[in-house]
Structure 1
Amino acid sequence: MRSIVLAAAFGLCACTAANTSAPAAAPVPAFPAISVATLKTVTQTLSSDAFEGRAPATPAEDKTVSYIAAQFEAAGLKPGNGESWYQDVPLVEITATSKPALTVTGGDQRLTFAYQTDMMAGTRHAVPKVEVSQSDIVLAGYGINAPERGWNDYANVDVKGKTVVVLVNDPDWQQPLGQGDFEGRAMTYYGRWTYKFEEAARQGAAAVFIVHDTEPASYGWNVVQSSWGGPLLDMQSADDGRSNVPVQGWLSNDAARRLLAAAGQDLDALTAAAKQKGFRPVALGLKASVSLQNSIRKQMSKNVIGVLPGATRPDETVLYTAHWDHLGRCGADRTGDDICNGALDNASGIAALVALAKAHVDEGAPARSLVFLAVTAEESGLIGSDYYATHPVYPLGKTVGGINIDVLNVAGRARDMVVVGRGKSELEAILERWSARQDRVVLAEPTPERGYFYRSDHFSLAKQGVPMLYAEAGEDLRDGGVAAGKAAADDYTANRYHGPKDEYDANWDWSGAVEDLQLYYAIGRELAAGNQWPNWYPAAEFRAARDRSRAGQ
């Protein structure tokens, strides 16, 4: 075994509803070697064209999950779901059989909004045809109904059967952090597009379109096109998805301006008005029509689960999560490449799971079990992790906590670690102690308006109460500083994210990824070797769920 060092002797609050003591941190091995060869091989393999972008419910899925299970086994893990490496996740795939068009009448002339160029639309109704005809259009501000914040964009209007147009992000996304009704630049779940669709469904809308704007969305229209251009996946449901709004989609900014101009309205003026509390929905005097023809296919997708069983308390588990899926075939770039390979997002995360598994197996089994969970359909709305969180293989009340990995740092070593959603979980204290051993500081995310806390798989488990840490290297690189780090991050977002250029690069610098994975290893090992039961901080929205699950043990 590697030499043993004591965890840093800083205090850690590990309070739970059942136990308010704070056990001392257990002895933890020093930072291990992380196999760069494994990181390279797994990332390059999974992001090769042979895997066709790893779309769930395609032939590429079988190849992908088989490869991951084989890598888990080679690393020394055991099947994590009884005798199986897999957990079935029931998916429905809804594929448009023709390109829909949105038509708008009621103004001086009939307007047609073209698919891909002007709008993206789809449905989660698992039926052959969905049609919205001559539906009154209402601009409902930011599409938020938050009574605890005194905010209701649907006040005094009935949108049942109507088409709702809403703005992206929160009303106060341009205000300083912590100011405004929705915490300023730190996006709340109310700003997330998934929430806006959910609320429109609760209001009974027939269709909902989000107005795209690059800065508050945090990605360009090209990302909307690639993310919405293929089959839509959802979890199978008894009502075939009818609890959702029949038609969901996006309007390009230019399209939204043309639509509003037809009603004698101005997008900028309405946006400014919608930022103010008390804004009331605006009936535009226009009618929308759109028809979707669909083919429906139901099948099982798979989460892949490996486990290193605990030596003395195998019923208590520590999680590592990452998603294996990406977008598959997507809109072709200028070279004709139509495979969204997803090398960083998130073949690199799966490579991290394999490399961490190897490191833990080499050290030997800790007291608690370590579970390595590669989930499906993250890109379709966190479906695989949501299914696991609501159908857990390992009881959530005995899941100590977890670390989510989504995109590794290949820009070089960083001086900082960034916690996505900082200030929510006691796991952050452990991260801070181990980061100090690497002479690194822990910071809050620099772009909280992008809502990353709600965009990866840790969120599914957090909603059920499991303390989850989502932290990654910051932008202050040891070679080049913040300027170099920001340039690398901006280049990825603008030119590679959710596009065909997210491909493996032999010139990547893996030194930063190794340091990050050493931190993830140390945190997971400390939890698995000790007696701690970290919790969410008292003000966190997930604290009550955690207290309930722990009290039930």
Structure 2
Amino acid sequence: MFRILAPAALLSLAACTTEEVPLEPQISLETMQDVTRTLSSDAFEGREPGTQGGERTVEYLIEQFQAAGLQPGNGDSWVQDVPLVEVTGSNFAPLTIGDIELEHGSEWVGVSYPLVERTELTDSEVVFVGYGINAPERGWNDYEGLDMEGKTALILVNDPDYMEEGLDGTFGGRAMTYYGRWRYKYEEAARQGAAAAIVIHEDFAASYGWNVVEGGWTGAQAYADTGDGGAGNTDMNGWMTQDAARRVLAAEGLNLDELVEAASQPGFEAIPLGQTASTSFDNSIRRFTSQNVIGVLPGNQRPTEYILHTAHWDHLGICGEEGDEDMICNGAVDNATGTAALVALAEAHVAAGPTQRTQVFLAVTAEESGLLGSEYYGANPVYPLDRTVGGVNIDALYVLGEASDVTVIGGGKSELDAYLADALEAQGRSQTADAAPQAGRYYRSDHFSLAKRGVPMFYVKSGQTLSEGGAEAGEAAYQDYNTNHYHAASDEYSEDWDWAGVMQDLELYFMLARALGDTGEWPNWNEGDEFRATRDESCALRDDGC
């Protein structure tokens, strides 16, 4: 057992509570190891939703939540059903733009969001729409004066000011906003009436190489089954390599670099290319149901106010090619560690006794398919979002040893920062800003499904300044994982892992949840943040406010 906090530190963090704070709350290292080892074993087949491995995962988590002392979190049930649909494209024709034919996979990828057996894009006029952003509150509209009905939007990845060194600018400088995410760009293109939306890939702006796009956007694609057949989407969403975009634009006498510069300035006007796009492919459709697993520790004074702990239980399943020595992506770090953390934290909170507010432990499905489990919960919350105070998301705990810092993703966005500062001071640790703000990581994990609906959420990652080797060793370890093991069959459990840093992180998560659980405050997003208006509107609907 791992002692997690000095009594004085806990008392200072829970200054608003009248409850006596337990003196020796504990988190079990053994639980962390056992649950991580089990979930990342071959018996769970990579925990892909809609498979036997996914079903075993749900059954195992129910057992673990129950053993930890939680109560079922969805009435009498431990699960929330999440209806999903899987679409697999095949027989791809080239993407033809004017006289240029682009090869599927190596030069472009595309998928159908509508649930149709065949996708056909025929002679759709192509318009270069810059960054594809319509943000009235920022005085920016790349679609100004355009009629995009039936047309194809060719779009730059990221925000207009992502190349700035600092964090100042209309769109936060180097730090990506939601407007920079491909998901937003597809949504906005659909709102504008486009038939297709194609994002131009660039390694730095996207924060990953073309291999990630090609691997993720070919084969089966899972979506939330909304019941409307995918209505309201474009016929096709996809990506194009930068080299392919240069060829397409050069055929019209246009230079991509010059267009990037122009599109980064206010008042940019979209450019019709005078060419049309065509392609086609078949789609096979499979519907299935997965589950979010939910357990609760009811509050002892204000049980209808909720603190969330989220982590995704799913991974990629069978990911190798026929004949590979290892074909299972076990996802030990991503995210068996985070799922195990839910169980270990649940044990610790039960042992410490309830907080004034209810603690909710939510293991979500289908994160790897696009945050689908958390998105379904956000759209169909078991606990009202205007009564959800805030929470913490745990996605991939790096087992690198003790660290003197934590990496904060999305710092400066909400009043949760004050809670984090107090907890880190109690730990004697510091916070390090996101080293790659252009990657928009705050918008790429499950907390985002709650944040965009107004719920303030922590996203705190393992520290990089290691006790052994410092920042240089931490950076090398991160790079090694991201380059060699992320979403690969080699992300496997090791008995040689050093868990000291993970236990520091669990201590931090525990402290934050206790502080939020025992305060009477309702922390909000900071003034001017993109999610502030949503939270304010949500709170205004209640007589007692948030």
- TM-score w.r.t. structure 2 length? 0.92
Structure 1 position 352, deviation (Å)? 0.8
Equivalent residues in 2 for 1:148-297 (5 A)? 148-297=137-286
Deviation string, structure 1 residues 146-195 (Cα, Å, up to 9, x no partner): 23323222234332212222111112111022333211111111101111
- The partner residue of 2:352 within 357, 360, 363 is 363
In 2, Cα distance between the equivalents of 1:259 and 1:332?
33
- The partner residue of 2:376 within 387, 391, 404 is 387
Structure 1 position 513, deviation (Å)? 0.8
Task: Say if 2:87 is the partner of 1:100.
Answer: no
Structure 1 position 288, deviation (Å)? 1.8
Given residue 478 of structure 2, which amino acid in structure 1 is its aligned partner? A
In 1, Cα distance between the equivalents of 2:506 and 2:157?
34
The corresponding residue for 2:316 is 327
- The partner residue of 1:415 within 404, 407, 423 is 404
Structure 1 position 337, deviation (Å)? 4.2
SS of 1:268 mapped into structure 2: helix
In 1, Cα distance between the equivalents of 2:11 and 2:16?
12
**Which deviates more from structure 2 when the two are superposed, residues 401-410 or residues 426-435?**
426-435
Given residue 102 of structure 1, which amino acid in structure 2 is its aligned partner? P
Distance 1:11 1:25, change over 3 A: farther
Task: Say if 2:331 is the partner of 1:342.
Answer: yes
Given residue 378 of structure 2, which amino acid in structure 1 is its aligned partner? A
Structure 1 position 6, deviation (Å)? 4.1
- The partner residue of 2:433 within 424, 429, 444 is 444
Q: For the Cα contact (< 8 Å) 1:81–1:87, is it kept in 2?
A: yes
Distance 1:29 1:518, change over 3 A: farther
Structure 1 position 334, deviation (Å)? 9.9
In 2, Cα distance between the equivalents of 1:165 and 1:376?
32
Identity rate, percent = 54
The corresponding residue for 1:399 is 388
- The partner residue of 2:494 within 505, 524, 548 is 505
In 2, Cα distance between the equivalents of 1:333 and 1:441?
46
The corresponding residue for 1:316 is 305
CA RMSD across the alignment: 2.6
Could you tell me which runs of 5 or more consecutive residues in structure 2 were left unpaired when the two chains were aligned: none
SS of 1:311 mapped into structure 2: coil
In 1, Cα distance between the equivalents of 2:263 and 2:535?
36
SS of 1:322 mapped into structure 2: strand
Equivalent residues in 2 for 1:27-38 (5 A)? 28-29=21-22, 32-38=25-31
In 2, Cα distance between the equivalents of 1:81 and 1:343?
28
Q: For the Cα contact (< 8 Å) 2:466–2:474, is it kept in 1?
A: yes
Given residue 142 of structure 2, which amino acid in structure 1 is its aligned partner? D
SS of 1:470 mapped into structure 2: strand
Q: For the Cα contact (< 8 Å) 1:315–1:398, is it kept in 2?
A: yes
In 2, Cα distance between the equivalents of 1:245 and 1:50?
39
Equivalent residues in 2 for 1:48-67 (5 A)? 48-67=41-60
Distance 1:330 1:290, change over 3 A: farther
Task: Say if 2:135 is the partner of 1:146.
Answer: yes
- The partner residue of 1:472 within 461, 474, 491 is 461
In 1, Cα distance between the equivalents of 2:91 and 2:494?
35
Structure 1 position 450, deviation (Å)? 0.9
The corresponding residue for 1:5 is 7
SS of 1:477 mapped into structure 2: coil
Structure 1 position 126, deviation (Å)? 1.1
SS of 2:32 mapped into structure 1: helix
Deviation string, structure 1 residues 336-392 (Cα, Å, up to 9, x no partner): 644333222212110110111111122233333211001112222222112212222
- TM-score w.r.t. structure 1 length? 0.91
Distance 1:316 1:484, change over 3 A: same
Distance 1:181 1:533, change over 3 A: closer
Structure 1 segments (4+ residues) deviating >6 Å: 1-4, 8-12
In 2, Cα distance between the equivalents of 1:405 and 1:118?
35
Structure 1 position 471, deviation (Å)? 1.1
The corresponding residue for 1:69 is 62
Given residue 165 of structure 1, which amino acid in structure 2 is its aligned partner? L
Structure 1 position 540, deviation (Å)? 2.8
In 1, Cα distance between the equivalents of 2:322 and 2:484?
11
In 1, Cα distance between the equivalents of 2:430 and 2:65?
32
Given residue 297 of structure 1, which amino acid in structure 2 is its aligned partner? R
Count of matched residue pairs: 540
In 2, Cα distance between the equivalents of 1:177 and 1:440?
25
Could you tell me which runs of 5 or more consecutive residues in structure 1 were left unpaired when the two chains were aligned: 13-21
